[in-house]
Amino acid sequence: MRRKFVAGNWKMNTLAGSATALAKGLAEGVLTTESVDVAVFPPLPYLAAVSATVAGSGVRVGAQNVYHEKPGAFTGEVSVEMLLDVGCQWVLVGHSERRHLVGECNSLVNRKLIQACERGLSVILCVGETLLERQSHQTEMVLNSQMAGSLLGVDAALMPKIVIAYEPVWAIGTGVNATPDQAESAHHHLRTWLAGRYNRMVSESTRILYGGSVKANNAKELLSLSNVDGVLVGGASLEVEGFSKIIQAARDVSR
């Protein structure tokens, strides 16, 4: 049975005070004995403070980005070692905002993913099609190519450190979430892809999260789908009450 995972991507939001207040509010409601995994992804400058704030609770911490080289002369970049040092267990790679706004390609995503997993972080690998790609019936082709490119050279032994997030670009930050049918069909496709590329065990044990306009009022329906193992939440993760309701929805469907 795949354990549900609720992840909150804070993106480029919060300041020191609001980041620790949000972390404190969540930590109070999420115990170490949880039936679901919970992680937050604050901006880099607040990772250490958020890690300290959630210590001893069931909330884990991840970064929104990492550099793919060992520490050295890479001005402005942040290494895996630094993220581990400030208490991160997770990192996001391949988020559509980095693919589309910063221009990260599959091969860069692949290098980041391998370096992160091999050096001690777990990874949420994001994939997803644009509206134009969906309208021109290219969704599965795009997912195949993002999965193949991002997981190039990654063998089955590394897969326990990797979670996939299906995030249709047209659903991110728009208020228009994928319908249950659209989400289930994409997740089923990704699971079948994993079976073909790896094996049945990897396909059945890898968690696939849905992301894109997840809110307290649609989380339960999405989390109930048989191939949806959790949610990656942007906007609705910035507020304790709303995010706590999404965590509660994951607990409810895990019973």
Interacting residues toward ligand PGA by CB under 6 A? 9, 167, 172-173, 211-214, 232-236
167 is catalytic: yes
Cβ closest to ligand PGA, residue 136 vs residue 174: 174
Output 58 or 168, the one with its CB closest to ligand PGA.
Answer: 168
Q: How far is the CB of 216 from ligand PGA (least distance, A)?
A: 12
Cβ proximity to ligand PGA: between 58 and 242 the closer is 242
Single-letter code of the amino acid located at 203: S
In angstroms, give the least distance from the CB of 171 to ligand PGA: 6
Q: For residue 144, what are the contacts with CB-CB under 8 A and spacing of at least 6?
A: 193
Q: Which helix (H) or strand (E) holds 107?
A: helix 106-118
| Amino acid at position 190, single letter | L
Retrieve residue 156's tokens: 């089955």
Q: How far is the CB of 155 from ligand PGA (least distance, A)?
A: 27
**CB of 17: closest distance to ligand PGA in angstroms?**
22
Q: Which two tokens stand for residue 230?
A: 């959790």
Q: Looking at the DSSP assignment, which residues form a beta bridge with residue 40?
A: 8, 61
Q: How far is CA 78 from CA 8, 88, 151, in A?
A: 20, 12, 22
* Nearest residue relative to ligand PGA (C-beta): 234
Residue 124 has φ and ψ, to the nearest 5°, of: -105, 115
- Least CB distance to ligand PGA at residue 33 (A): 27
Residue 44 has phi, psi (to 5 degrees) of -50, -45
Query: Of 42 and 212, which CB lies nearer to ligand PGA in the complex structure?
Result: 212
Residues facing 163 on adjacent strands: 124
**Which run of H or of E encompasses 61?**
strand 59-63
Beta bridge partners of 91: 63, 123
Burial of 135 (0-12, 13-18, 19+ CB in 10 A): exposed
* Collapsed DSSP state (helix, strand, coil) of residue 60: strand
Nearer to ligand PGA, 8 or 202 (CB): 8
Catalytic member of 34, 97, 133, 167: 167
In terms of CB distance, is 106 or 177 closer to ligand PGA?
Answer: 177
What is the 8-class DSSP label of residue 33? T
To the nearest whole angstrom, how small is the minimum distance from the Cβ of residue 97 to ligand PGA? Answer: 7
Active site residues: 95, 167
